[in-house]
Structure 1
Amino acid sequence: MKGFVVWDHPGEIHSIVDDLSARLGQLGDEWLEASETRPRYFEFTPIELHAVTRRLQLAEPTASANLLVVDLASTVDFLSRVKNLKIRGSRGYVRSSNILCNSLEMSLHFCKSLLALWIADYDVRQIEGLAQLRRTLRRLVVHYSMRNVKDLFGVSDLELEPDSRPWPVLEDVDLSFNQLDSIDDSITTLKSVTTLNLSQNRLADIGPNLQHMPALRRLDLSKNILDSVSGWAQLLGNITTLNIAGNQIPSLEGLAKLYSLEVLDASENQLDTVESAIHVGRLPCLETLILRGNPVRKTVEYRTRILEAFEERAAEITLDSRRANERERDTIAVRLALRRSREEKERAELARKEKIERSVRYISGCDGTASDTSPYGSFQNTL
Structure 2
Amino acid sequence: MFKSLHHVERDHRDTQHIRGLVTSKPTLATMSVRFSATSMKEVLAPEASEFDEWEPEGTATLGGPVTAIIPTWQALTTLDLSHNSICEIDESVKLIPKIEYLDLSHNGLRVVDNLQHLYNLVHLDLSYNKLSSLEGVHTKLGNVKTLNLAGNFLESLSGLHKLYSLVNVDLRDNRIEQLDEVKSIGSLPCLERLTLLNNPLSIIPDYRTKVLSQFGERASEICLDDVATTEKELDTVEVLKAIQKAKDVKSKLSNTEKKAGEDFRLPPAPCIRPGGSPPAAPASASLPQPILSNQGILGDE
Q: Aligned partners of 1:270 and 1:308: how far apart in 2?
A: 21
**CA apart distance, 1:163:** 2.6
Aligned 8 A contact 2:131 2:154 in 1:
yes
**CA apart distance, 1:335:** 1.6
Give the partner amino acid of 2:12.
D
SS in 2 for 1:118: strand
Give the partner amino acid of 1:159.
E
**CA apart distance, 1:126:** 3.8
Q: Give the number of equivalent residue pairs.
A: 251
Q: Aligned partners of 2:6 and 2:46: how far apart in 1?
A: 23
Please, which runs of 5 or more residues in structure 2 have no aligned partner? 49-53, 61-70, 265-301
SS in 2 for 1:258: coil
1:182-205 superposed Cα distances (whole Å, 9 cap, x missing partner): 111111211100110000111122
Matched with 1:265 is 170
Aligned 8 A contact 1:190 1:213 in 2:
yes
Q: Aligned partners of 1:296 and 1:159: how far apart in 2?
A: 45
1:317-348 superposed Cα distances (whole Å, 9 cap, x missing partner): 00011122222111111121232344345556
Q: Aligned partners of 2:223 and 2:88: how far apart in 1?
A: 32
Confirm or deny that 1:255 pairs with 2:160: yes
**CA apart distance, 1:353:** 7.4
Decide which of 129, 139, 159 is 1:234's aligned counterpart.
139
Aligned 8 A contact 1:125 1:151 in 2:
no
1:123-169 superposed Cα distances (whole Å, 9 cap, x missing partner): 22344443321111110101112101111112646433463871222
Taking only the aligned residue pairs, the percentage that are identical comes to 37
Aligned 8 A contact 1:204 1:224 in 2:
yes
SS in 1 for 2:220: helix
Which structure has the larger Rg over C-alpha atoms? 2
Give the partner amino acid of 1:140.
M
Matched with 1:210 is 115
Structure with greater proportional helix content: 1
SS in 1 for 2:9: strand
Matched with 1:136 is 27
Give the partner amino acid of 2:79.
V
Matched with 1:184 is 90
Q: Aligned partners of 1:161 and 1:169: how far apart in 2?
A: 14
Matched with 2:38 is 147
Confirm or deny that 1:160 pairs with 2:56: yes
Measured on the aligned residues, the alpha-carbon RMSD in Å equals 2.4
Change (3 A) 1:160 1:327: closer
Give the partner amino acid of 1:261.
L
Give the partner amino acid of 2:102.
L
Taking CA–CA contacts closer than 8 Å with sequence separation of 6 or more, which of the two structures ends up with the larger relative contact order? 2
